[in-house]
């Protein structure tokens, strides 16, 4: 009997790093001991527990080093969503005696927006600030929104769709002058751009492991010493009594290593991502017409390119290229079968004929120049074909007899 061997299918070029990142080989290596020998509970006082306890504390120091804060100010969570939930609900319920007003923006991740909606149903008042055409929150709008009842301002550090970096330092200074707790969702920015808690002056900051080459299912929350939070999870006294539950040692070790690598290679990776991102944008503009950049041209994540192709349906474009290039028509966290204009683009007032054809390209440290060149050719060819087919369809319709 002859069995034919099938050739493995060539995987698509991956340009969706904002959705998730592949595991760094060094991160995988760092996690391996906790799949084999070091399986102990960090709360156990014997040898097995001591080994994993040391691993957790080492990782805590690695995350703190990336953020330039104290190790005791870092707690581990299951990811960015939990970190955001704990920060926002923790402040809201922990400061109800001071007020019930929260300020956020219209372009936050659902892990912030949905939490705010939840709190509105429980009597809290939430102000959703607009953004300008570049996706930037205006400091004057933040100041005007502050009331004597404001207990929290939560504005993302960088937007997950268009990459615009918000003026967090200025907003934090404003919050501090008014005695308001300041939180920022840094899931997309941690590890990509320089980050110093002492410069940002935030009270709370969320990190997601799978956005910086660590495993999915682990994250961290920076909590400035002295900030009061209502507990989100109740149980034993892990994480300094702030987050109950046996620590996920395997993934915590991976997150710690990922943060160490991010700090070590920050300048090199930033330079590389900017080069890949800009080469892709330049290539698309040189080969196809009607291309529009969304987001701030300079105050933007080094890896993010959000562009609109006029008159093109993003869903149809993805269908044309999905076996060759992996990109996103919007945020991968709330995708659906029907392509609709994202709330971020709506808030930025991008015209519908442009917005419906929006693609988010996000490169990473593993992206190569050859991949960018090939992806540019694939996307450009698909766009030219789609536009040509649309013109032909219109011509056929115009020539056909109509009753």
| Coil, helix or strand at residue 181 | strand
Contact 174, 143 (CB under 8 A): yes
Chain CA centroid to CA 38, Å: 31
Between the alpha carbon of residue 90 and those of residues 76, 86, 107, 132, 223, the distances in Å are 15, 5, 22, 30, 11
CA–CA dist 334, 109 (Å, integer): 9
Contact 67, 263 (CB under 8 A): no
The alpha-carbon radius of gyration of the chain (Å, integer) is 23
Helix axes 110-120, 80-94, angle to 10 degrees: 30
Nearest to 130 by CA among 347, 295, 346, 341: 347
| Coil, helix or strand at residue 255 | helix
Q: From the candidates 2, 69, 259, 333, which is the catalytic residue? A: 333
Contact 49, 57 (CB under 8 A): no
333 carries an active-site annotation: yes
- Catalytic positions, please? 333
């Amino acid at each position: 009997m002859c069995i034919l061997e099938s050739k493995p299918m060539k995987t698509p070029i991956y340009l969706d790093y904002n959705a998730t990142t592949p595991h760094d080989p060094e991160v995988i290596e760092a996690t391996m001991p906790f799949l084999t020998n070091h399986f102990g509970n960090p709360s156990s006082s014997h040898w097995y527990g001591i080994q994993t306890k040391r691993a957790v504390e080492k990782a805590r120091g690695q995350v703190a080093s990336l953020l330039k804060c104290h190790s005791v100010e870092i707690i581990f969570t299951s990811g960015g969503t939990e970190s955001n939930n704990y920060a926002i609900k923790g402040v809201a319920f922990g400061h109800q005696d001071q007020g019930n007003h929260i300020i956020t923006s219209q372009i936050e991740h659902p892990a912030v927006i949905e939490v705010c909606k939840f709190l509105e149903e429980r009597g809290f008042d939430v102000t959703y600030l607009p953004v300008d055409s570049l996706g930037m929150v205006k400091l004057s709008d933040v100041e005007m929104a502050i009331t004597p009842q404001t207990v929290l301002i939560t504005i993302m550090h960088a937007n997950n769709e268009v990459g615009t970096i918000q003026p967090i330092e200025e907003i934090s200074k404003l919050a501090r002058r008014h005695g308001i707790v300041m939180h920022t969702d840094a899931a997309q920015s941690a590890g990509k751009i320089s980050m110093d808690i002492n410069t940002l002056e935030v009270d709370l900051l969320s990190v997601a492991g799978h956005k910086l080459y660590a495993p999915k299912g682990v994250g961290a929350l920076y909590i400035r010493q002295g900030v009061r939070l209502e507990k989100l999870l109740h149980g034993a006294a892990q994480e300094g009594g702030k987050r109950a539950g046996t620590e996920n040692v395997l993934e915590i070790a991976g997150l710690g290593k990922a943060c160490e690598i991010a700090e070590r290679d920050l300048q090199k990776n930033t330079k590389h991502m900017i080069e890949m991102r800009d080469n892709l944008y330049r290539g698309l503009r040189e080969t196809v017409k009607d291309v529009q950049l969304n987001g701030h041209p300079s105050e933007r994540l080094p890896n993010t390119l959000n562009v609109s192709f006029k008159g093109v349906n993003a869903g149809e474009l993805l269908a044309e290229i999905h076996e060759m290039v992996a990109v996103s028509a919007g945020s991968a966290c709330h995708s659906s079968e029907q392509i609709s204009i994202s709330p971020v683009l709506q808030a930025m007032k991008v015209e519908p004929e442009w917005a419906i054809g929006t693609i988010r390209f996000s490169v990473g440290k593993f992206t190569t120049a050859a991949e960018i060149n090939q992806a540019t050719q694939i996307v450009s060819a698909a766009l030219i074909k789609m536009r040509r087919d649309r013109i032909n369809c219109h011509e056929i319709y115009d020539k056909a007899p109509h009753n």
